[in-house]
Structure 1
Amino acid sequence: MGACARLVRFSLLWLSLLWALLAAPLAAQEASILVVDLDRAYETSLFGKSMRAQFREDNQDVAAENTLLLNALKDEELQLTEDRTTLSAEEFAAAAAAFDAKVQEIRSARLEKIRQVDEQFKNLKPLFFSRIEPFFDLVMREFNATVILEKRSVLRSIEGIDITDLLVERVDDAYLASVSATEPAAEN
């Protein structure tokens, strides 16, 4: 066998090996992976900001109610202290016990209200994520992606697969369109 034949065989072997090595990445490229920073999407999107602003607006009365109740209880306590001089020991003890029971009842009710508000706030982020789920599907189809991973769970990636800004843009566009559609037309 001549040197030329060995060179042809060697070249064919390398070409077939090279073809086999290149075929695997082509299949992997079709199964693209995207990443998203969900916290950043929640914090920076107009929709997420709007949800948090609406929550604050809906619950601002809780702090005002607490202040009113506290002031009323302080006034009642001062009155009870003033009445102490005119009440018998038994009457004062009964009034003080009734006041204490009232304070405990109000405190318990307010703590429950605060717990409910806290629970509502904790549910804002999952609610945001559930409402933007359709956008994940659209982006996956657009990029022919098979998976979107949370960026914090990825050790290292290239910036090109991070769809956070694109997702925020799409969510904000849809949010602004829905807001403008629900606003009454300006009267001339």
Structure 2
Amino acid sequence: MQIRAAAYRTLLLGLVCGSVAWPGRVPAQPAGATPGAVPDAVEGPRDQGAAARVSILVINQDRLFRQSLYGERIMAEIQAEKAKLEAAIRQIEADLETEEKALTEQRPKMTTEAFRKLADAFDEKVQGIRKTQQVKGVKLAEKLEHARGEYYQRVLPILAEVMKERGAQIVLDQRMVFASDSSVDITDIVAQRSDATIGDGTAPPGPADPK
């Protein structure tokens, strides 16, 4: 019986790292939609005069989050937790190697049936550890997604402010846009205002402005 601890570690680290990669999610297109096509809801009126009056801005949500003070703090916290999880996995690997070696040394002194029971119990233990580490990796990914969602909610008033200043009716995520001019990209200005008003997110939100 071999556990192949190195391969086991690679599997566990893959579960953790894979869970915490977090590329931005692109909304799924409806069935039959042409890749890169602008959704009907964004096309606006068909006549050119009405379409010319629609002002659209573009923002890179991933870059906004990562370059903001808020996002930098969250990513640093997640990376620290990820490092702890990986260190725990390395310790688990060492413990399993020791246990496997001890079990192998006992084999000549045991009956086949007795050894098989111990081996099966060991395999079951390994599978349980693997599932536990997988759950931890998933929870870490969910924690990041939750933090991103909270940040985007707090940024909405800033987006509304920039839209009003630019006379825009629509803001699209950059991943949904096939081509655009850099002048319509508001990622940097939103990030700057986010840092000025929200900061790293540790301070409680201020009171709402009176109507």
Give the TM-score normalised by the residue count of structure 1.
0.67
CA RMSD across the alignment: 3.2
CA contact (8 A) 1:34 1:163 kept: yes
Please tell me whether Structure 1 or Structure 2 has the larger radius of gyration of its CA atoms: 1
What is residue 119 of structure 2 aligned with on the other side? 96
Displacement of 1:164? 1.5
Considering fraction of residues, name the structure with more helix: 1
Deviations 1:132-157 (A, max 9, x none): 22211222233343222333434444
CA contact (8 A) 1:52 1:124 kept: no
Select 1:61's aligned residue among 71, 84, 89. 84
What is residue 172 of structure 2 aligned with on the other side? 149
CA contact (8 A) 2:60 2:174 kept: yes
Displacement of 1:65? 1.6
What is residue 105 of structure 2 aligned with on the other side? 82
Deviations 1:21-62 (A, max 9, x none): xxxx9x988864322222322232222222211111233321
Using the alignment, how far apart are the partners of 1:177 and 1:48 within structure 2? 7
Using the alignment, how far apart are the partners of 2:200 and 2:150 within structure 1? 20
Could you tell me which runs of 5 or more consecutive residues in structure 1 were left unpaired when the two chains were aligned.
1-24, 182-188
Displacement of 1:69? 1.4
3-state SS of paired residue (1:165): helix
Displacement of 1:173? 1.6
Using the alignment, how far apart are the partners of 1:129 and 1:177 within structure 2? 13
Could you tell me which runs of 5 or more consecutive residues in structure 2 were left unpaired when the two chains were aligned.
1-47, 205-211
Using the alignment, how far apart are the partners of 2:136 and 2:85 within structure 1? 8
Displacement of 1:83? 1.3
Select 1:163's aligned residue among 183, 186, 189. 186
Change (3 A) 1:32 1:90: closer
Displacement of 1:179? 5.3
Deviations 1:104-151 (A, max 9, x none): 222222222223333434555444323322211222233343222333
Displacement of 1:81? 0.8
Change (3 A) 1:158 1:104: closer
Change (3 A) 1:146 1:74: same
